[in-house]
Structure 1
């Protein structure tokens, strides 16, 4: 029986990209919901929480998922997977902490292990880029990390707040800001916010109906 899965993030493009990443595994998963900043409302085996422009893997959003009685397991899909971060999340009840730099088949294996009752922590090199998924600004040439920083700037966060949210050093945050500014052609924070508003960097607020990429793959396989 397919694992019932909710994909959770505040950005439609992110959850759609995650759904697309799993398109070749339609027999493994039934994607019940793609949630843009809304509560999971149908029973699911696993809620996969993508940390793009969100609080850390043991933040309020994750606690809300853990408190939801119709969510059996929570898996955090994060950039940085350190023993300390994973331990904190696991202590709160998270069942899996998985790096976003891993290929799709390793993410799938981790989700199966969690569904079977296991606890999974899978890290990878911090120098590797994302291998799947999607993010706002990708078509403008922004990397996933640069896009995340621009999203947090658009939300009004300071550099120190961005460092806390994204588990980056302040110097790394400044480096991503410089490279992102060059790519989008701005020179100030105010202009970066205006650019972000114009290019879809405000969080989406409505639940997304249906996972077309996974469903279409399932239909194509029949």
Structure 2
């Protein structure tokens, strides 16, 4: 695939283990097709297309120094932008040290997200504001239709991945007591009383990590 001209849309791949998450982000970016063009959606598969920017949604994913940035890119010129509601300065800096080119908060609307993609593509290092974010403005998550908040959904996703409460605190960058609070609240919302029941519910409601790749044609982004 030839490199885009200065007037061509920036080619973007959206990466996360959950198809619903990547599809939600792609839908937001589709409204800005003159500036960015989503050419690939990946869940637990490496990016295969020649892209300019890999947008890594951190929902339920390794973060900071644990991000395998080289494993995300398909070409030496592609740059990785982290999209997360965890914006602690130390986490942002660890992500940049791991090789990410930028970091944008999920409090950003579609225009701000596109602006971050453009800045990263120009070679800038992008950092978010320091304030923590509880609710994303854009995107979707498993369990949304059942009333789970983004944080509750992420905790359930990590439970379904087999993580202990302590491991969830390390992955999601929230305190242990906060994890326990989210577990109590999500259990009440989905009507379960145990971890095993929560996992079984999660498997039936989109919390099993997907393994897929979707290559998009121009018509998908018009």
| TM-score for both structures, normalised by structure 2 | 0.90
- Deviation for aligned residue 1:127: 4.7
Q: Are the equivalent residues in 2 in contact too, given 1:49–1:62 (CA < 8 A)?
A: no
SS in 1 for 2:145: helix
1:194 aligned to 2:214? no
Contact map agreement 2:106 2:133 (CA 8 A) in 1: no
- CA displacement 1:174-219 (0-9 Å, x = unmatched): 11111111110111111001101111111001212437xx95562x
Query: Quick one: structure 1 residues 16 and 215, their matched pair in 2 at CA, closer, same or farther if it must change by over 3 Å?
Result: farther
The residue matched to 1:161 in structure 2 has which SS? helix
- Which of 36, 43, 48 is 1:41 aligned to? 48
Aligned length: 215
Return 5+ residue gaps in structure 2 as ranges: 1-7
Match of 2:131 in 1: 125
Matched position secondary structure for 2:174 = coil
User: 1:20 maps to what in 2?
Assistant: 27
Question: 1:57 offset after TM fit, Å?
Answer: 3.4
The equivalent residue for 2:116 is 110
Report which structure shows greater RCO (CA 8 Å, sep ≥6). Answer: 1
2: CA distance between counterparts of 1:92 and 1:125?
Answer: 22
Which consecutive residues of structure 1, in runs of 5 or more, have no partner in the other structure? none
Residues 58-77 of structure 1 mapped to structure 2, 5 A cutoff: 58-65=65-72, 68-70=74-76, 72-77=78-83
Measure how far apart 1:78 and its partner are. 1.3
Mark the CA change 1:166 to 1:63 in structure 2 (over 3 Å): closer, same or farther: farther
Deviation at 1:121, TM superposition (A): 0.3
Q: 1:48: Cα distance to partner?
A: 0.4
**Counterpart of 2:174?**
168
Quote the RMSD (CA, aligned, Å). 1.8
Q: Distance in 2 between matches of 1:178 and 1:124?
A: 28
1:51 aligned onto 2:52:
no
Matched, 1:148 2:176: no
In 1, the alpha carbon distance for the partners of 2:88 and 2:77 equals 25
Kept in 1: contact 2:13–2:42 (CA 8 A): yes
1:43-68 C-alpha deviation (Å, 9 max, x unpaired) = 111000001111113324434225x4
The answer to whether the aligner puts 1:180 opposite 2:186 as a matched pair is: yes
- TM norm structure 1: 0.90
SS of 1:120's equivalent in the other structure is coil
- Which of 196, 207, 214 is residue 208 of structure 1 equivalent to? 214
Q: Which has the higher helix share?
A: 1
Instruction: Render the CA deviation track for 1:2-61: whole Å, top value 9, x for unaligned.
Output: 001000001100000000121210111121110011000111110000011111133244
